[in-house]
Structures are given as C-alpha cells and as structure tokens.
Amino acid sequence: MAEKILWTKSLSKHFGGLKAVDKVNIYVEKGDIFGLIGPNGAGKTTLQNCIAGTYPPTSGQVIYRGKDITGFKPHRVCRHGINRTYQIVRSFPRLSALQNVMVGGVFGARLSEKEARAKALKLLEFVEFPSDPEAKANSLNTMQLKRVEMAKALASGCKLLFLDEVAAGLTPGELVDIIALIRRIRDSGVTILIVEHLMKLIMEVCNRIAVLCFGELLIMDTPEVVTRDERVLKAYLGDGFQST
C-alpha cells in the first residue's frame, strides 16, 4: 500500500455551536490526485484551513508524513512541504510573472534570489506559461495567472499541493489544459488535493475522492464507487451532481 502522506484523525472545527468539520478521518496517499467535494457549506474550505494552519482545529490531529503537525502556523506547515493555491488568485499585480514565482522560492524554500530566479524560470516552463516571464501579473488572463499561481506554489518545493477551485472561470479548452497540468504536477512527484465544484474535472482527474456533508465525511473511495453511492446522490440532490 502507498504511504499515507496526509492523515486527519477525527479532525473537528467548531464555530460556536456550528460543527463546520466534525470528526473527519481522511487520508491522502502519496501520488494521489485526491478530490475533496461536497455541497456548499459542507466544510471543505474549513478542513483545508485546519490542515494548512489557517485555523487551529477544535480537536483531532493532522498527521503529515508520520509527523503530528496539528495547530502548526501556515508558514511552518509550508516549510514541512504543504502548499496551496487559492480560489481568488493572490498574485502581486505589479510584480512580473517571474517575480511572483520567485516569491515562492525565496519565502517558501529560503532560496537565494539567484537560485529562486533560476528555479522560477524552470517552473514557468514546466507549467507552460505562454508569455514573457517579465510580463506584469496585472496584464495576464485567468489561465495565465493560474499557471503562475501553480508555479509559485511549486517553487516552495512542496510535496503536497492543495488546489482550491482551479476550474473556476476557465473555458472548456482551458479545462483540458489544466487537467493535463494537474497530471503533470502529480507525475513530477507532488501529491495533489483538489477542492472543486466542477464534477467533470473531479471525476476525470481524481483517483480517490472524499465527500463531506454538513461537516461529516460521507464516503471516501474511488470515483466509480462515489458516484454510485446513494448517500452522495441524496446529498447532492438538486445540486447538479450528475450533470455538471
């Protein structure tokens, strides 16, 4: 069996009386493209935030490569090898594409400026950034920005990458490109956890999926098993699970 690179043990996050995440046990295996799905408000973002250190969990544990990282602050989680891209792209608009990616290398991997620059140029090529590396971020389109975001996250040298809603705002053609890129990143040795509403992307690219509903884990299995599960169909009723 593959190594469990990430493991949440009975992880909970309560906001007052609201159980946003409730005793969730999921594990991501090395080499997975793991999908985290569920209806609006199911707790997907909160679960990610508890793993990445944005919030301390209320209870439970986060184990990363055998080490208990529960409650670590985001920069420390990043130094251990977990990084993320955000749904709302957070590039520095006045910096160039190259400089944005260099930020990941300098702050995420503590590279010198020279090393970060060399790494950033390589990564921009790897993500097939189609434009001039010196182009300002505020002149780029959505797909180009997503490529820059991914290169920036990879520049930290992460081994586990969270992708939040990467498909948002993309055309069908760009979707094909992003799926190819996600696979290429995985093949380069980075395990991937995707939070995504677009079922087409999840079903096509993920080898394992966890479904959250009202903070609880409904099921964790292969796409084939998950799509046939009665509880999942019920949770998504009226939410277009089959059609989108």
Ligand X SMILES: Nc1ncnc2c1ncn2[C@@H]1O[C@H](COP(=O)(O)OP(=O)(O)OP(=O)(O)O)[C@@H](O)[C@H]1O
Choose, by CB under 6 A, the member of 27, 28, 33, 44 that binds ligand X. 44
Per CB under 6 A, the segment of 34-42, 65-73, 151-159, 186-194 that binds ligand X is 34-42
Regarding 86 and contact with ligand X (CB under 6 A), the answer is: no
- Name the minimum Å distance from CB 83 to ligand X: 19
- Name the minimum Å distance from CB 40 to ligand X: 4
Regarding 20 and contact with ligand X (CB under 6 A), the answer is: yes
Q: Which is nearer to Mg ion, 20 or 182 (CB)?
A: 20
Choose, by CB under 6 A, the member of 15, 56, 110, 184 that binds ligand X. 15
- Residue 93 C-alpha from the chain's centroid: 22
Regarding 45 and contact with Mg ion (CB under 5 A), the answer is: yes
- CA-wise closest residue to 78 among 144, 10, 160, 134: 160
Regarding 46 and contact with ligand X (CB under 6 A), the answer is: yes
The angle formed by the CA atoms of residues 182, 33 and 85, to the nearest 5 degrees, is 55
End-to-end distance of the chain based on CA atoms, in angstroms?
A: 33
Judge whether 149 and 91 are in contact, CB under 8 Å: yes
Strand (E) or helix (H) holding 6: strand 4-15
- Name the minimum Å distance from CB 113 to ligand X: 36
The angle formed by the CA atoms of residues 166, 59 and 78, to the nearest 5 degrees, is 40
Q: Which is nearer to Mg ion, 44 or 119 (CB)?
A: 44
Strands in 191-195's sheet, in edge-to-edge order, are 82-85, 160-164, 191-195, 33-37, 208-213, 216-221
Binding stretches for Mg ion (CB under 5 A) = 44-45
Q: List residues binding ligand X (CB under 6 A).
A: 15, 18, 20, 38, 40-46
